[in-house]
């Protein structure tokens, strides 16, 4: 990231903090996966475990899987595996293997943070914001999510000025869930800003709270063809 880009990012992030200070109690909403947390290490761990599983029957496939690194991860694990040259039958098995693990509490602890995220959330709270973690993770993932937040030094949900909103049901589509929660938050009070990695969700935030600042994290997203609202602000991470 160039010095100029970093300065621009710092200005955008600082403006939210200044506004939090000017309007205490205003909400700042953060998505979790690929917004505050990078899911890369969780993906890589599952790929390594799958490599261990197929090693004895298919050492070549195991080698292909082990060669996958951070840079070659795609949003969908099946695309990552196809790019790596894994044959179709194994891609399907991998998909099931991945699905049985990716949403489990003990795997959530594998995630690293997006650079600067914990300090930024801490400062938002210190400057008067009400931090809302709103995620497509479901209630079954609460334990691992709370542990991961605590381990990395994010403001603890449940304490004053931070809360965690998870999906009551795993199978509710994220978009429908977020639309419903936003409608509720709108009744509660002012929103200063939101942070998301899915362009479609950023647009939903923008539609619900047109006066707030809405950020797209340029980490990775599901690739659905959506044009981002022109008012949305783009950042790479939370470094300032």
Residues of this chain that bind Mg ion (CB under 5 A)? 31, 33-34, 197
Distance of closest approach, residue 156 Cβ to Mg ion, in angstroms: 21
Query: Closest approach of Cβ 89 to Mg ion, in Å?
Result: 30
Nearer to Mg ion, 54 or 217 (CB): 217
By beta carbon distance, the residue nearest Mg ion is: 33
Residues 6 or more apart whose CB falls under 8 angstroms from that of 66 comprise 47, 48, 51
CB of 5 to Mg ion, least distance (A): 22
- Between 66 and 103, name the residue whose CB sits nearer to Mg ion: 103
Query: Considering the complex, what minimum distance in angstroms separates the CB of residue 63 from Mg ion?
Result: 31
Rank residues 50 and 133 by Cβ distance to Mg ion and give the closer one: 133
Output 34 or 146, the one with its CB closest to Mg ion. 34
- Cβ-based nearer residue to Mg ion, 66 or 74: 74
Rounded Cα distance between 200 and 226, Å, is 6
Nearer to Mg ion, 197 or 208 (CB): 197
Least distance to Mg ion from the beta carbon of 87, Å? 30
**Closest CB 205 distance from Mg ion, rounded Å:** 12
What would you measure as the largest C-alpha separation in the chain, in angstroms? Answer: 62
Smallest CA-to-CA distance from 17 within 149, 131, 99 is with: 131
Of 235, 237, 16, the C-alpha closest to 127 is: 16
**Residue 198 burial (C-beta neighbours within 10 Å; 0-12, 13-18, 19+):** buried
Q: Is the dihedral of CA 213, 218, 219, 223 positive or negative?
A: positive
Helix axes 77-84, 40-54, angle to 10 degrees: 60
CA distance 161 to 25: 8
């Amino acid at each position: 990231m160039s010095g100029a880009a970093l300065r621009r990012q710092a200005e955008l992030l600082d403006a939210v903090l200044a506004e939090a200070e000017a309007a205490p109690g205003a909400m700042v909403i953060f998505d979790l996966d690929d917004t505050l947390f990078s899911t890369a290490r969780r993906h890589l761990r599952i790929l390594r475990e799958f490599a261990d599983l197929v090693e004895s029957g298919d050492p070549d496939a195991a080698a292909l899987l082990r060669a996958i690194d951070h840079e070659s991860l795609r949003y969908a694990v099946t695309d990552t595996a196809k790019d790596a040259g894994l044959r179709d039958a194994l891609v399907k098995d991998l998909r099931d293997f991945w699905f049985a693990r990716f949403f489990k509490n003990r795997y959530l602890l594998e995630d690293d943070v997006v650079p600067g995220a914990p300090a930024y959330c801490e400062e938002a709270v210190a400057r008067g914001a009400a931090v809302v973690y709103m995620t497509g993770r479901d209630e079954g993932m609460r334990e691992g999510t709370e542990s991961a937040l605590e381990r990395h030094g994010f403001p603890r949900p449940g304490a004053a000025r931070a809360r965690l909103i998870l999906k009551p049901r795993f199978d509710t589509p994220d978009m429908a869930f977020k639309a419903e929660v936003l409608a509720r938050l709108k009744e509660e009070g002012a929103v200063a800003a939101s942070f998301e990695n899915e362009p479609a969700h950023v647009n939903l935030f923008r539609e619900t709270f047109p006066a707030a600042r809405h950020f797209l994290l340029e980490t990775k997203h599901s690739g659905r063809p959506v044009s981002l609202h022109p008012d949305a602000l783009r950042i790479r991470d939370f470094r300032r």
